[in-house]
Amino acid sequence: MEKNVIFFFLICCIILYVTSAQLRVGFYKSSCSRAESIIRQVVQKRFDKDQSIPAALLRMHFHDCFVRGCDASILIDSTNSKSSEKDAGPNLTVRGYEIIDEAKKALEAVCPTTVSCADIIALATRDAVTLTGGPTYNVPTGRRDGLISDVDDVDLPSPSLSVMDALHFFTAKGLNLNDMVTLLGAHTIGVAHCGFFQDWISNFGGTGKPDPKMDTTLAARLLRICGTKSRPLNKDPTVFLDQNTSFVVDNQFYNQIILKKGILQIDQQLGLDRSSAPIVSRFASNGNAFNQNFANALIKMGKIKVLLGNEGEIRKNCRVFN
């Protein structure tokens, strides 16, 4: 009888843990009721001065989730003895860390050691997307911060990959083709350094010429901006990924792909590959469909390998482990 009681108690505890240790909308309603409004105010303040910040936050969120999961490991600073994700090649152009710092400082003053850095990234990204005219959506919260950040863990899809090769990275994270085409729609805002597409516009396939599939007028303009020689990152010119509505989250990115005006090779491939082209066409003709899918894809991405319950920690400073 006593064993049965103990067994029943253990089962109840497991069920209670599984039930409580889940992402949910309004996670901080009782523990830090002002959490989301504080983050929103910080993002709004920065956006008022710099309308390019939504693209930075989207990129940060993606680069964080696609390594160890959405655990804010990208925020950790390197030390003399250990290089963190932040110092990996693909992350050297990630920016916006100070926005997360500012939000964290404000939250610690009101609700110490309560709101995770991982949740701050997800919420700040949501708010930034909305400010650029994109969809408004609810973000399930309750993520915990990771305890590992290793430069060697960073393996992100290259902008020169084919659609199928890029898709392998997404399916490994539980995302599908529609999710990938949708998430790459984040290129509706932001810029790319010439180094990310230099070969495509100046020496495609070793021909010494641009890819013939690219719009010739665009290729000529990019060559004038970028030249044919690579430069150090701090001297490498940038161009808008969306040549039309560069600061607005909308479906114009997909219309440009159809016109063969994608800046990155992977972007243009989306419109040419028969598996992804129908999705591109649907989003190009239906902005509401893109908005809805974009919100859903960001929510789905934000759930990749999250830490919950007693896993990880709640950092006091997003740049260092407790």
**Contacts for 298 with CB less than 8 Å, ≥ 6 apart:** 61, 125, 126, 129, 137, 183
278 is in an annotated binding site: no
Q: How remote is the C-alpha of 243 from its chain's centroid?
A: 21
Q: How far from 192 is each of 93, 226, 294, 309, CA to CA, in Å?
A: 9, 11, 21, 38
181 is in an annotated binding site: no
199 is in an annotated binding site: no
64 is in an annotated binding site: yes
188 is in an annotated binding site: yes
Question: Is 168 among the catalytic positions?
Answer: no
102 is in an annotated binding site: no
98 is in an annotated binding site: no
Asked if 128 and 58 count as a contact pair (C-beta separation under 8 A), the reply is yes
Reference 316, options 140, 101, 123; nearest CA is: 101
Report d(CA 120, CA 175) in Å as an integer: 22
236 is in an annotated binding site: no
139 is in an annotated binding site: no
242 is in an annotated binding site: yes
Q: Which residue has the tokens 């100046």?
A: 202
Q: Find the helix packing angle between 35-49 and 117-131, rounded to 10°.
A: 50
**Per-residue tokens: 89:** 């090649």
- Catalytic residue from among 61, 63, 168, 193: 63
Binding positions for Ca(2+): 64, 67, 69, 71, 73, 85, 188, 242, 245, 250
Residues with catalytic function? 63
Binding positions: 64, 67, 69, 71, 73, 85, 157, 187-188, 242, 245, 250
Binding positions for heme b: 187
Binding positions for substrate: 157
